[in-house]
């Protein structure tokens, strides 16, 4: 092998490693020239960007995007776009719920994760034109447009669906999964899992899981949003039961979520923030919480730029035991 080719192989391995995928096994025979390993974050670099990967993450909750909002769960298209523009301007980068709960947060140094969640599969959130494009005015179309204007702002989100989502268009869930959106379970019939008995609750979750797997062959739902935020009497039944297993279960309210590396993180009860501007109960809404998280005392999750290390300020709490071995205090 020429030295040029050997160098090329080393660079290819470096690039794959830098993107977070496992590096290919070393080939037999002469070893390639070793490319420098990807730089790991130092305490100085983490401090410079104020990294805090034990900080809090806003998981925003949306239902309908309609021109004439009728309840606190609705938002108008202009308000929705303005909220996304605000997030982009404040260095937030969307990730899915599944990315968050599995700790797959590969974000540039100094940026913050945000999760955009949409419950109930409303056609105002996503619909396809006859040509198979996201319909104008839908939340997905607006999100894609904002991402074009802000290239670092990833157009990803998590959709929690019941039966016949998005007006029953059979193409919808397949399109979302093919475009890196997450499809999560919200039970087939929007069942109140607290009122239901134990076996009815697990059956309702399993039915919702199965309908997603039927709609998108090969897809495995990884998270659940509780209808009405109502937990089963035994909370762990929302995480695991006959026919389903999840990395995270979302509540309806009412504040930022702990980092998955925080000792406060409970995968069976992850809080969300209702998207909301001023008005009734605004103290639970996103405008209030984004102000708070952006303040000096906000304890917001800020990435260190190194997906393999969990950086945090020594002044704060210690990481959960599961993250201790990869943590870096400054």
Alpha carbon distances (Å) from 294 to 26, 55, 222, 233, 289: 45, 12, 29, 36, 8
DSSP string across 253-288 = EESPBPPTTSTT--TTSEEEEE---SSTTGGGBHHH
- Beta carbon of residue 102, minimum distance to Zn ion (angstroms, whole number): 23
Residues 186 and 212: their CA atoms lie apart, in Å, by 10
Tokens standing for 228?
């009405």
Choices 193-201, 219-227, 280-288, 309-317; region in contact with Zn ion by CB under 5 A: 219-227
Shortest Å, Cβ 190 to Zn ion? 6
- Residue with smaller CB distance to Zn ion, 227 or 241: 227
Residues whose CB falls within 8 Å of the CB of residue 78, separated by 6 or more in sequence, listed in order: none
Please state the closest distance from residue 227 (CB atom) to Zn ion, in A. Answer: 5
**Min separation Cβ 73 and Zn ion, Å:** 9
Nearer to Zn ion, 159 or 289 (CB): 159
Minimum Å distance from CB 187 to Zn ion?
A: 9
How many residues touch Zn ion under the rule CB under 5 A: the total is: 3
CA atoms within 13 A on the CB side of 109: 18
Binding range to Zn ion, per CB under 5 A, among 1-9, 226-234, 291-299, 313-321:
226-234
Q: Please tell me whether residue 74 binds Zn ion under the rule CB under 5 A.
A: no
Nearest-5° angle of CA 78, CA 279, CA 60? 60
Which residues have C-beta within 8 Å of that of residue 210, sequence separation ≥ 6?
A: 243
User: For Zn ion, which is the closer residue by CB, 53 or 119?
Assistant: 119
In angstroms, rounded to a whole number, what is the distance separating the alpha carbons of residues 52 and 262?
11
Task: Report the residue number, 53 or 122, with the smaller CB distance to Zn ion.
Answer: 122
**Comparison of 272 and 299: residue with beta carbon closer to Zn ion:** 272
C-beta separation of 122 from 64 below 8 A: yes
- Considering only 35-43, 51-59, 221-229, 289-297, which stretch makes contact with Zn ion by CB under 5 A? 221-229
Helix then strand count (H, E) for the chain reads 8, 14
Residue 122 contacts Zn ion per CB under 5 A? no
What gap in Å lies between CA 49 and CA 328, rounded to an integer? 14
Pick the stretch among 44-52, 227-235, 301-309, 318-326 that binds Zn ion (CB under 5 A). 227-235
157 touches 116 (CB < 8 A) = yes
What is the Cα–Cα distance from 85 to 6, expressed in whole angstroms? Answer: 45
- CB nearest Zn ion: which residue? 119
Question: Closest CB to Zn ion among 160 and 301?
Answer: 160
Residue 296 Cβ vs Zn ion, minimum distance, rounded to whole Å: 35
Residue number with CB closer to Zn ion (45 or 196): 196
The minimum distance between CB 186 and Zn ion, in angstroms, equals 6
Does 120 contact Zn ion by CB under 5 A?
A: yes
119 belongs to the binding site for Zn ion (CB under 5 A): yes
Nearest-approach distance from CB 256 to Zn ion, in angstroms? 20
- Please give the structure tokens belonging to residue 56: 């809090």
- Residues forming the site for Zn ion (CB under 5 A): 119-120, 227
């Amino acid at each position: 092998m020429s030295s040029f080719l050997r160098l090329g192989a080393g660079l290819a391995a470096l690039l794959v490693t830098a993107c977070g995928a496992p590096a290919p096994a070393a080939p037999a025979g002469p070893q390639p020239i070793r490319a420098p390993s990807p730089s790991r974050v130092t305490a100085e670099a983490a401090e410079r960007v104020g990294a805090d990967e034990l900080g809090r993450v806003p998981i925003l909750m949306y239902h309908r995007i309609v021109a004439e909002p009728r309840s606190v769960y609705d938002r108008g298209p202009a308000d929705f776009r303005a909220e996304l523009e605000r997030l982009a301007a404040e260095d937030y980068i969307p990730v899915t719920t599944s990315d968050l709960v599995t700790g797959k947060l590969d974000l540039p140094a100094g940026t913050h994760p945000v999760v955009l969640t949409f419950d109930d599969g409303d056609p105002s959130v996503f619909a396809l034109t006859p040509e198979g494009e996201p319909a104008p005015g839908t939340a997905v179309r607006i999100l894609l447009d904002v991402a074009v204007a802000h290239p670092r702002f990833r157009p990803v989100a998590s959709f929690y669906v019941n039966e016949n989502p998005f007006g029953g268009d059979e193409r919808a869930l397949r399109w979302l999964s093919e475009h890196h959106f997450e499809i999560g379970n919200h039970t087939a019939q929007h069942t109140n899992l607290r009122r239901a008995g134990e076996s009815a609750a697990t059956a309702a979750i399993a039915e919702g899981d199965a309908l997603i797997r039927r709609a998108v062959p090969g897809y495995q739902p990884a998270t659940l949003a509780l209808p009405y935020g109502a937990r089963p009497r035994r909370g762990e039944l929302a995480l695991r039961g006959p026919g389903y297993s999840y990395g995270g279960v979302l509540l309806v309210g009412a504040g930022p979520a702990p980092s998955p590396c925080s000792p406060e993180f409970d995968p069976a009860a992850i809080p969300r923030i209702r998207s909301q501007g001023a008005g009734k109960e605004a103290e639970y809404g996103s405008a209030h919480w984004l102000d708070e998280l952006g303040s000096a005392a906000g304890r917001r999750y800020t990435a260190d730029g190194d997906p393999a290390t969990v950086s945090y300020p020594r002044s704060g709490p210690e990481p959960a035991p599961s993250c201790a071995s990869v943590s870096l205090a400054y």
